[in-house]
Amino acid sequence: MSHNHSCHDEHSHSNGGGSAHDHSDDVTPASHSTLYQYIDHPHIHTLNETTPSSGRAIVEKTWDDRLSPTPLLTSPADDPQLLMHVPFTGQVKLHSILLRAPPNGSAPRKVKLFKNRLDLDFGMASELAPTQTIELPRGVDGDGVLEVGVKRALWTAVMSVTLFFVDNWGSPNYGSDSGHNNNDDDDEEEEEEDVEGEEVQTEISYLGFRGDWLRAGGAPLGVVYESAANPADHKLVHKTNWEGGVGMGPASGRGPL
């Protein structure tokens, strides 16, 4: 995937999409407008994690701890999918997701985002249309953290975000909710170059959220804002395109919460 080193903010794209930025070189860290203190951390729940509560643990990391390799959220070696429920303590308006993953086949590739659906299991997440689907870049090199903008019009009055990590860059079946192989020749060559179709464990070491906490009545309350860095100072590592709902595969055999 080619890298674009010119910076574009959300309003520069006619399709309403945003940009993915590496914040390691920012004068002011990406912790401004963080939603960290408004996350209901004790009630974060992750399905298919290999280590209990590791999904909650990566969200509990502060910005200062974002580069720490542990704790690490991983899926089983033979199954790349993860389903994370992240509730907030009140209503928020979501702006972007911050994520750190290795720049290899273990990095998540497609994530389906659901607004206010803490009831979802794998079967429902596979069948229902998501609020938004995002194709993620292949991890971040060095000390970077990927920031992925969301379509803000879809993410008002948010009480919870459910993230369904469908596949990763090393999965031989990436791009299919049901596990059927839909790869073209280019995809097969890319996967052989990385992990030869064997490594499908998904790994995520940091997950955060940026946005506005909403007062009663829906007005944003920017009490956690720091002075924001100039977007022109940001280093663009990837630019992603977003789609709305996508075709769903059959339900997974995993049980409900």
Tens of pLDDT, residue by residue over 197-232, are: 565 799 999 999 999 999 665 566 654 433 333 333
Give pTM, 2 decimals: 0.69
**What confidence category does residue 111 fall into, taking pLDDT thresholds of 50, 70 and 90?**
very high
Instruction: Say if residues 88 and 162 touch (Cβ distance below 8 Å).
Output: no
CA 69 to chain centroid: 17
CA torsion angle for 174, 175, 181, 183 (degrees, to 10)?
Answer: -90
CA dist 44 and 67 (Å) reads: 21
CATH code linked to domain 10-243: 2.60.120.470
Alpha helix locations (H) across 38-181? 54-60, 122-127
Tens of pLDDT, residue by residue over 153-203, are: 999 999 999 999 999 999 776 555 654 333 444 444 444 444 455 657 999
> Which of residues 33 and 41 earns the better pLDDT score?
41
Q: Report phi then psi at 217, rounded to 5.
A: 100, -10
Domain ranges in the chain are: 10-243
Beta strands 158-168 and 108-115, pairing class:
antiparallel
Whether the predicted pLDDT of 70 surpasses 90? yes
Tens of pLDDT, residue by residue over 232-243, are: 333 333 333 333
Beta strands 158-168 and 146-149, pairing class:
unpaired
